[in-house]
């Protein structure tokens, strides 16, 4: 997660710093394995896919610095949610 957070903080006009397809594949995999009634994993998948959609929107835009700043803040908020859900599910994450 630290790599994803770092990518959302450093502007790169050449492209999207967080892989969209990887997020989508992970979300699809987790959707398949999650058990009915397990709301915490379903919520994790929703947030993960929101991050993928935010990345797609940014990628399709002009990718200006102001676009990056907007996307970066959204991405950091979503990553914070994912970090919190991960910690509550599996415990503390290792330090970067």
Report for 4-8, 50-54, 91-95: range of highest mean pLDDT: 50-54
Residue pLDDT, tens place only, 45-88? 999 999 999 999 998 988 899 999 999 999 999 999 999 998 98
Total-model pTM? 0.81
Say which residue, 87 or 12, is predicted with more confidence.
Answer: 87
- pLDDT confidence of residue 96: 63
Q: Where are the domains of the chain?
A: 1-11+39-96
For 25-35, write each residue's pLDDT tens digit: 888 888 877 66
Instruction: Name the residue among 77, 59, 76 with its Cα closest to residue 21.
Output: 59
d(CA 15, CA 38) in angstroms, rounded, equals 36
- Residue 51 CB contacts under 8 Å (≥ 6 apart), including other chains: 18, 23, 75, 78, 79, 82
Closest among 59, 67, 93, 65 to 79, alpha carbons compared: 93
């Amino acid at each position: 997660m630290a790599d994803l957070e770092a990518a959302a903080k450093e502007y790169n006009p050449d492209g999207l710093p967080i892989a969209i397809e990887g997020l989508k594949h992970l979300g699809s995999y987790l959707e398949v394995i999650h058990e009915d009634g397990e709301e915490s994993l379903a919520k994790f998948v929703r947030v993960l896919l929101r991050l993928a959609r935010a990345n797609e929107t940014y990628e399709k835009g002009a990718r200006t610095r102001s676009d990056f700043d907007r996307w970066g803040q959204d991405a950091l908020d979503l990553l914070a949610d994912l970090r919190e859900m991960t910690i509550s599910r599996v415990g503390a994450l290792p330090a970067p």
